Amino acid sequence: MKKTVVAAVLAVCANGVAAEPGGRLLATGGASSIEGAAGGGIVPWAVMSGYAARDEWGGTAFATRVDTGDYRLDSYGAALSFGNRLEVSVARQRLDMDALTKAASLPDKTLNQDIYSLKLRLFGDLIYDRLPQVALGAQYKRQRNFLVPSLVGAERDSDADYYLAASRLFMGAVGGYNLLLNGTLRYSRANETGLLGFGGDRRDSRSLLREGSAVLMPSPQWAVGVEYREKPDNLSFAGESDWQDVFVGYFPSKQLAVVAAWAGLGEIATLEDQQGLYLSLQLSY
């Protein structure tokens, strides 16, 4: 899937006029989150993927790796958007957990998940309206090898997250530099975004969770920001920590974006102080 998606986007980008990005400003499509939706690395924003403006198609393909030493998460996928109004995305995640497998004698060395998402802009605009851009999103998630999650108390192998995001780009707001602020409310019972299943022996109902991003753009090509993502605590076998990161994004053109971050993920499945490098590559059209 990964090679096919990336090859398709490269083919479009090589096709001259067909590869010309849409009319939106550079970097206003954000990056691709680990779950496929446009935004930051761990938080979806109200923006749409790619650069499609009114009556235009746009999209992205991405690949991301997060490595803490004990765990390694690989995520890749693609998104399509139309008219700066609707976004459809798909992502696949693979979590390698050799350290935990050896320590706990688990039957699997990896956890895998597929994510299918929709996002609809409800009203407002990132820049040109008095109101912020507000979007409603849904993410259907399916955990693909449920044995380990079921052994630690997860109730189900698939479920849906719902979120409401509001984003605003303030032009020249901080010392003449642009500032983007985003706030997201998520309604979810996913354990570690769903890689450890959904619901648990401690709590099986959805929780309302807060997420946020603040991004300063010292130039049109560069972005520096922080993110925060609140997590539920459904499983009694281990605590689940909130996530945060500090990132730098580079947008040399509308076709390419590179994001590097230092991610603090806290405790994951009994292993504490998980932190490490986040690196993501995105191709847009």
CATH number for the domain that contains residue 111: 2.40.160.40
Do residues 57 and 199 make contact, with C-beta atoms less than 8 angstroms apart?
no
Q: Which residues contact 49 (CB under 8 A, 6 or more apart)?
A: 29, 30, 32, 37, 38, 58, 59, 60, 79, 80, 81, 87, 89, 284
| Range 252-257 average pLDDT | 96
From CA 128, how far away is CA 231, in angstroms rounded?
Answer: 33
Q: How confident is the model at residue 39 (pLDDT cuts 50, 70, 90)?
A: very high
| Range 16-20 average pLDDT | 40
| Range 78-103 average pLDDT | 94
Residue 5 domain-assigned (yes or no): no
Residue 1 domain-assigned (yes or no): no
227 against 1, higher pLDDT:
227
Q: Residue 32: which of 20, 43, 21, 24 has the closest Cα?
A: 43
| pLDDT attached to residue 21 | 60
Residue 202 domain-assigned (yes or no): yes
Residue 59 domain-assigned (yes or no): yes
Residue 56 domain-assigned (yes or no): yes
pTM: 0.90
pLDDT at residue 1 tops 80:
no
Residue 88 domain-assigned (yes or no): yes
| Range 210-223 average pLDDT | 97
* Number of domains forming the structure of the chain: 1
Residue 248 domain-assigned (yes or no): yes
Lowest mean pLDDT across 2-11, 51-60, 91-100, 231-240: 2-11
| Range 265-269 average pLDDT | 95
Domain that holds residue 208: 19-284
DSSP-derived secondary structure letter, 7: H
